[in-house]
Every structure is written in structure tokens, then in C-alpha cells.
A and B are shown apart, each in its own frame.
With several copies, the nearest count.
Chain A
Amino acid sequence: MDDLYRDYILDHYKQPRNFGELEPHDLEAHDHNPLCGDEMGVHIRVRDGKIADLRFHGQGCAISQAAASIASEEYVGMPVDDVGQLDADWVIDLLGIPISATRRKCALLNLKVMRGATTGDASWPE
């Protein structure tokens, strides 16, 4: 079996969870990976300070799409204020595959837009 493109990665890529738009929504952000042109947006609905629902959208590689899909299941139910505390390792551990330096931004794009939507900080997670 492939180290990177494991079955669950390909499964999330082909059938991404929480994918699409969400209208109405309370928070949103949109961003790019300047290295490859991938783009990703998010719509978030908030209830009682928690993420009640969310949808990612955009285009990207298997790693960025699978990462968004897998992470989306963690984001739902999370206090909005906690998103800003998440770091790069959190996403990478969640993915459970070896991420090279070049693919790092693919994996982190979902967290970047989530932080953009919730804290306004649009820098790359470290």
C-alpha cells in the first residue's frame, strides 16, 4: 500500500466530508496556496460559541482535500476560540501520513482558512 496515498486519504479525497457551501453562515474565509494554485474556502455556522456546522470548498490535490475533509470532522463541535490554538502538528498528526516539506502547505491550507475565518490571522500555521 502507498505510504502517502493511503486508502482513507483517497476515500476522503474522492468523497470529502462537509464539502460545499453553507448558506447562511456566520464566518467565512478564502485562501490560496501560492505554490500550486490550490484554493480553499470555508463557511462556518456558529451556535453558543461553538462551530455548529461548516463546509469547505475549492480545488486542490488529494492531500489538501483529504486534510480538509478529515479535519472538518474535528472542527464541528469545537469552541470557535479554540481554532486559533491549533498548530501545524495538530493537522499533520490527524492526517497520519508522512508529509514532506513541499506538501506541508497542502496539508495546512484548511487550518489556515479556519484560522482566517475565526481569528482573522491569515498567516501559515507553524
Chain B
Amino acid sequence: MATSATTPRLHVRSDFPIFAREIDGRPLIYLDSAATSQKPAAVIEAMDDYYRRHNANIHRGVYTLAQEATDLFEGARERVAAFTGAETATTIFTRNATEAINLVAYAWGRANVGPGDVVLITQMEHHSNIVPWQLLCQGTGAELRYLDVSDEGTLSLDQLDAELAGGRVKLAAFAHISNVLGTINPVAEMASRVRAAGALSLVDASQAVPQIPVDVAAVGADFYVWTGHKALGPTGIGVLHGRRDVLEAMPPFLGGGDMIRVVDWQESTWNDLPWKFEAGTSMIAEAVGLGAAVDYLGELGMENVRAHERALAAYALERLADVGGVRVIGPPDPDERGGVISFELEGVHPHDVAELINRQNVCVRAGHHCAMPLMRRLGVPATARASLGPYNDASDVDALVEALVNAKKVFA
């Protein structure tokens, strides 16, 4: 038993009100942070306070409340940008990661991709980083191509080079961390090769921002997207970081209030970045909540979050071997993976695994994890997935293992 895991570095569970909840007299063993994270009190209270004391529409109000709301909203944007090492003006709030990717596929894609061009993605992408590109390719006559996933759950830089050498790739989109395999991809290296080939890159960092220290400038991708609710923030908000020159050259996506400079009868001109891409009333309370979330994560220190989750994942990989009949999918080395552990339990369908262990209040996800193509590649109909947050500790892993042992018995 790894002592590093049994003595976890973070002790923050009490910051998260949901863990006060018991179901049938038992505590909550929450191992589904890759689907959505739990929220610290600081995040919930920041939104509460916004609605109770400062609520007003932003940007155009002269009165005090409207100024406060504007400052809270734009202040949150500054802190979110600083947290990920991005510029404030190129940090755009979207509804979620999915909308951020669609924004790029519609606004940049429809203007820049045509017949014969290639959009390159990978076999490990989430549906949100597949379907927008399918729609783009179908709409423009471009070709959608995939980088393979190895049996260990990794990508090949050589294959990337070979695809780029074809000269037709216009944009390559790939996950920073896979939500199924846990694989941490070498995104800075990939983005730099894509750029050298004259193409653009989009990194889906939905799983990375909550798990590891990220630096948008250092990654150097043209677009870098993530989603608030997985990063201790609220639902209803996501982030698109873009390169300034690319964003400036792009036509807008959604039209409406706030994204315009002047609306004339037949045409309009656009507001400056980032507002050009933020149509209609913004997710004001959600931005305030996300600001509180990155403040909280910043105080924990993302190196500490990563070290904590890495140790815990290593411990989980060890302990799962004790169950017997558990097959873990994805890279075996804890240094090469995040805190997302997909597995199969011999003889028990993942759906039944999730149902059975829920009886001990152990929450894991079962299914295709919005990655049907990857399931096909792996030759499995579905997997069970346990995923970690900063609030987890070794006792959660122990509870999972115990619950799995019991589940096996039912199907024995």
C-alpha cells in the first residue's frame, strides 16, 4: 500500500458542503469528477452573494449595482485568464466546452475549411470534439481523419507528422487529457508540429484544467477550451482561449446584444474582443462562480492538486488489482495519466457495476462516456469509470474496492 496515497497531501473535503450529505446513513463516495466536480462552499457562496447583493445586467448600466456586477464579471474573467496563463481579452466565456468547440467549428471553420481540406482529430475524443467537426466536414466537403489510439491508450507523434505531411490538414483538434483513458497528451509538442505545418490547433482541456497546472501560452495552441463545471465551478459556463490574431480575423458566431458595435438596418459591426463572441446577456453569476473556483484552485496550488490525485490514482491502480478480474484501460504509468480510471470487471456489465456499488454510495460512471468511437476502437461496449477530485482520499479508493468485491459476489 503506497504510503504517499494513504497520507494524502490535501485535506479539503470539509470545504465541499455536499460531503455533509448521507444517503441511507452512509457517507458519499464521489468518484465521478470527470463527469462533473463538486463545488466548494466558496463557489456556491460567491454566486449566492452575487444574487443577494449585486445582481444587475452588465456593461451598459450607469447605476451602482450595474457597475458592481460588471466589475465582478470582468474581474472574474481576469482571474480565469491569469489562472490558465492566457490573455484577458482573448478569454471568451461560452456555455460549456462543447459550445466553445462549436464556436470554432462554425465561425472559424465555415470561413476557412473547404472541399479537400482535412480536419484531424483523434480516436480518443469526447463527442463534443467529434460531432462539431463531422458537421463542419459534412457542410464543407472537407475530410475528417483520426489519429489512432494505441493499445496502451496513447497517440503517435509519427502518425501526426505523417498526416501533416499530407499537406491538407487545416485544423487538428485533440484532448489535453482523455476523459476515458486518462492519457495526458503531449499537447505543446503536438500544437507546435501542427503550427509548423501551417495548420491550426484546438486543445480540449476539459479534463486538464481541473487536474494539472496548465499554461495556455506555453501550450501554444490556437484554441484552448475547457468547461467550468468540471473545474469546481458552476454549470452553464465554459471558456475559449484563442490566439488574438485568429480571433480578430474570424467572423462572429452568435449575433445579438453585447457583441456589436453598431447595428444598422442591413449590417452591423462587431465589438472588441472578447465581447465580439459573447452574444446576449452573459452568464454573470456563473462567471462569478468560476472566478471563485479558480481562486480556490489557485490557493490549493495546481501542483498540489496534481500530486494529490497522482498519488491517489497510483494507489487506486494498485488496489484495483486486488479485486481480481479488474482490467484497467489506459496508460499504466501514473506519471502519464490523470485521475481518471476506466475499467472492466469480468463477467459484470459496467452498468451493473455502477448500480451495485451505488448501494454502498460509491458513485462511478458506466457507459460510453461520450466517446463511442473510442469504445469501438477498444472493442468494449462500455466501461466503468472512477475519477478523482481534490476532495477524494484513500478511503474513497478503499470503499470502491470493497464495493467491487461485493458486486463480484452477486454475479459469482
A–B touch (CB < 8 A): the answer is: yes
Please give the residue numbers on chain A whose beta carbons come within 8 Å of chain B beta carbons, in ascending order: 2, 4-5, 10, 32, 34-39, 59-63, 65, 100-103, 106, 123-124
CA distance A59 to B381 in the complex (A): 7
CA distance A106 to B70 in the complex (A): 17
Residue B317 at the chain A interface, CB threshold 8 Å: no
Instruction: Name B370's closest neighbour in chain A (CB-CB).
Output: A37
Q: A36-B368, A37-B372 are in contact. Are A4 and B60 (CB under 8 A)?
A: no
Which A residues are CB-close (under 8 A) to B366? 36
Please give the residue numbers on chain B whose beta carbons come within 8 Å of chain A beta carbons, in ascending order: 59-62, 66-67, 70-71, 260-262, 271-272, 348-352, 355-356, 366-368, 372, 375, 381-382, 410-411
Which of A35, A59, A100, A102 gathers most chain B CB within 10 Å?
A: A102
Instruction: Name B382's closest neighbour in chain A (CB-CB).
Output: A37
Given contacts A37-B368, A61-B350, A123-B272, 4 further A-B contacts (CB under 8 A): A35-B59, A37-B372, A38-B381, A101-B67
Q: A10-B411, A61-B352, A102-B67 are in contact. Are A34 and B375 (CB under 8 A)?
A: no
Q: Is the CB of B67 within 8 A of A38?
A: no
Q: Is the CB of A5 within 8 A of B351?
A: no
CA distance A64 to B201 in the complex (A): 41
Q: Is the CB of B260 within 8 A of A61?
A: no
CA distance A34 to B262 in the complex (A): 7
**Residue in contact with B355 in the complex, picked from A10, A65, A103, A123, CB distance below 8 Å:** A103
Work out how many contacts link A and B, with CB atoms closer than 8 A: 66
Instruction: Provide 28 A-B residue pairs closer than 8 Å at the C-beta atoms, listed in order of the A residue.
Output: A4-B355, A5-B410, A5-B411, A34-B260, A34-B262, A34-B271, A35-B59, A35-B60, A35-B367, A36-B350, A36-B366, A36-B367, A36-B382, A37-B368, A37-B375, A37-B381, A39-B381, A60-B349, A60-B351, A61-B352, A61-B355, A62-B411, A63-B351, A63-B352, A101-B67, A102-B67, A123-B272, A124-B272
Q: Is the CB of A36 within 8 A of B262?
A: no
CA distance A73 to B60 in the complex (A): 30
Q: Is the CB of B349 within 8 A of A62?
A: yes
Instruction: Name B351's closest neighbour in chain A (CB-CB).
Output: A61
CA distance A4 to B60 in the complex (A): 19
Q: A5-B352, A5-B411, A38-B381 are in contact. Are A100 and B262 (CB under 8 A)?
A: no
CA distance A74 to B262 in the complex (A): 29
5 A-B pairs with least C-beta separation: A61-B351, A37-B368, A61-B349, A59-B381, A36-B367
Q: Is the CB of A2 within 8 A of B410?
A: yes
Which A residues are CB-close (under 8 A) to B261? 32, 34
Q: Is the CB of A102 within 8 A of B262?
A: no
Q: Is the CB of A32 within 8 A of B262?
A: yes
CA distance A39 to B349 in the complex (A): 13
Which B residues are CB-close (under 8 A) to A61? 349-352, 355
Distance between A63 CB and nearest chain B CB, rounded to angstroms: 7
CA distance A62 to B410 in the complex (A): 12
**Residue in contact with B367 in the complex, picked from A10, A37, A39, A63, CB distance below 8 Å:** A37
